[in-house]
Amino acid sequence: MKLVFATNNPNKLKEVQALMPQHIQLISLADIGCTEDIPETSPSIEGNAEQKARYIKDHYGYDCFADDTGLEVEALDNAPGVYSARYAGKEKNANANMEKLLMELKDKENRNAQFKTVIALILDDELKTFTGICSGKITTKKRGEGGFGYDPIFLPSGYTETFAELPLSEKNKIGHRGKAIQQLIEDFSNESFNPRKS
């Protein structure tokens, strides 16, 4: 079965495809000719995920799923949250975002944080959402060359390596996006929710 994943992020596409069972083939926005910026104007992570999925369904007619992820830092009243990708500006520069966050936390002892991913799936005009959370802490400096986004400064609970230092297979196992995707996959296997073959 083919399913559109509403993202232009090749790293995210690779990460999610690695989690999918073989019978599900992910199609990117580029594959369906979607080159415009999909609106993300909701004040919540859940709302943005649903907005993106509905946009693809309404404008392109494809069954699809979309995700939105935010990094919520306890000492900053859960900021950057829904603004994580553009925390340091609309350019969505990951290094600038990390530098700003590290500066904001410079004098704070509480570095507790969590990544939250919400996936909105529209299949046969039915909407479902799945949420994955990974708790951890923000480091004092960037560590590791892997991953993307805030991965070099996020230390998941129970680990001594940042997301950027962990192999993708391990990150997928414990990470927020992996947890949400796993719920999605489990839902596909639910007999009462029968995905259309294509």
192-198 long-range contacts (CB < 8 A, ≥24 apart) are 193/123, 193/126, 193/128, 195/1, 195/123, 195/124, 196/1, 196/63, 196/123, 196/124, 197/1, 198/1, 198/2
Is residue 5 within 8 A of residue 26, CB to CB? The reply is yes
Tokens of 99: 């530098």
**Phi-psi domain of 92 (left: phi exceeds 0; alpha: psi -120 through 50; beta: other):** left
Please give the positions annotated as active site: 68
Is residue 106 within 8 A of residue 119, CB to CB? The reply is no
